Amino acid sequence: MLEVADNSVQLVVTSPPYPMIELWDDLFHQQGCRTFSDMHNLLAEVWRECYRVLIEGGIACINIGDALRKDNGGLRLFPNHVRITEHCESIGFTSLPFILWKKPTTRPNAFLGSGFLPPNAYVTQDCEFILLFRKGSPRSFPPKDFLRYASHYTKPQRDAWFTQIWQVPGARQENGDLDRRVAAYPEEIAKRLIRMFSIYGDTVIDPFLGTGTTMKVAKDHHRNSIGYEIDERLLPTIKERIAIPLDSVETAGQASSFKITRRD
């Protein structure tokens, strides 16, 4: 993200492609990544850039799910949240208490394995992780900072948002194969994170922009935003969601990627 200056962004809110989830195999393979470690080494380059562009006290929020794949005649867990935590801490981030996003399901009795007979069944994966990291010391403000106080949340919001388990329905997917590739997270997730960890006028960045959820919610809550996306097929959807002028779209890095900036 060379177009973004050092220490210029207050918040990262993103959900990357999930390593070892079949949905994103082709995307990783196109980048030369075949193994679990290859995939996370590629993502770590993005976390390193996030660390660079964040201010002192800036927060990174990364939504990630673990993966189950067949291995040696059974299923094996690939703990994506663990590997991302390891990489982010090695870069210099401080880990903060994470959030478990429990997705309500219409199949509460779904299970994997041997039915009612022990011991070869598997615990159902119905949670994803929202990992939280801070760059350096907690962010400081002048006494009675106007924008900080204007950005306050209510007690019911605080009580619901700062608990470790969130039950939020997943985003509805309506655009066929393209949306399945993107697997957008719901606006409610982005809204909570942006309200919790930024103030009016801050800049929020999403290095895996997808359909533009982060930027749309940032705009709705009076934050500036920057987004990166490599799939040009998503550009019309992003532009429609966040109502951006054409001159806000720039080629960034590779010819096949673009950066979008919105300032309110």
Average pLDDT on 161-187 reads 73
Residue-level pLDDT at 46: 98
**Mean pLDDT throughout 191-208?**
97
What letters, b where the CB count within 10 A reaches 16 and e where it falls short, cover 146-185?
eeeeebeeeeeeeeebeeeebeeeebeeeeeeebebbbbb
With a pLDDT cut of 90, the percent of the chain lying above it is 69
113-170 pLDDT per residue, tens: 667 788 888 888 889 999 999 999 999 999 999 999 999 999 999 999 999 999 998 7
Overall fold of domain 9-106+122-262: Rossmann fold (3.40.50)
The pLDDT of residue 256 is: 41
Domain assignments of the chain as residue spans, ordered by start: 9-106+122-262
pLDDT digits (tens, 9 = 90+) for 54-84: 999 999 999 999 999 988 888 999 999 999 9
Cα separation, 34 vs 104, whole angstroms: 32
